[in-house]
Amino acid sequence: MAIIDDRTAYGQGVADIFEKVAKENGATVVSRQFTNDKATDFNAILTTIRAQNPEVVFYGGMDTQAGPMLRQMKQLGLNVPVLGGDGICTVEIAKLAGDAISDKVICAEGGASLDKMPKGKDFRARFEAKYKEPIQVYAPYVYDAVMTLAAAMQKANSTDPAKYLPVLASID
């Protein structure tokens, strides 16, 4: 496999973990490349990777680079599955990759699928109606965290962390 990361804390971090676990499970990394989170031209990296003939490419980064990267992979004939973290699990990647998007893009999402959460579909509908944007993967978790923090402040009758943090710790 080949691994590319965008040198951000997220992208490099997820790529490092992926590489470590992949190697522990017997995978061979034929190329480890990096770019940055502003790049749009990946031809040099992808040409180097194509010469190594990987069976799969892992990308640690966000959809804004993964989309154009997928287009360039298609142009170079690098027709292998692309794996990634939740940074490429977005609706936008399909727009950014155009006809280069395929069923060969596999990404991991943290947490449960929104469709499998109790009232998840309702949450999605209300979120998208209010904000006029597709929901982001962590929105339900952030919502729950903020509501839990607010509940702790209400129970403590204070916004002073010294008073509400002990209450927060006791909320189940």
Question: What is each CA distance from 27 to 8, 20, 157, in whole angstroms?
Answer: 24, 10, 54
> Is the pLDDT reported for residue 111 higher than 80?
no
Tokens 């287009």: give the residue. Answer: 71
Helix/strand/coil for 83: strand
Residue 26 — φ and ψ, nearest 5°? 90, 5
Say which residue, 4 or 172, is predicted with more confidence. Answer: 4
> Is the pLDDT reported for residue 102 higher than 80?
no
State the pLDDT at residue 9. 94
> Is the pLDDT reported for residue 137 higher than 90?
no
User: Residues 64-68: contacts with CB within 8 Å, 24+ apart?
Assistant: 64/37, 64/92, 64/96, 65/6, 65/35, 65/37, 65/39, 65/40, 66/93, 66/96, 66/97, 67/92, 67/93, 67/95, 67/96, 67/97, 67/98, 67/101, 68/40, 68/42, 68/96, 68/97
Model confidence at 154, in pLDDT bands (50, 70, 90)?
Answer: very high
State the pLDDT at residue 151. 96
Domains and CATH numbers, the chain: 2-107 (3.40.50.2300), 114-170 (no CATH)
State the pLDDT at residue 67. 93
Q: How many CB atoms lie within 10 A of CB 82?
A: 25
Tokens 């839990």: give the residue. Answer: 148
Mean of the pLDDT values across residues 50-78?
A: 95
State the pLDDT at residue 107. 86
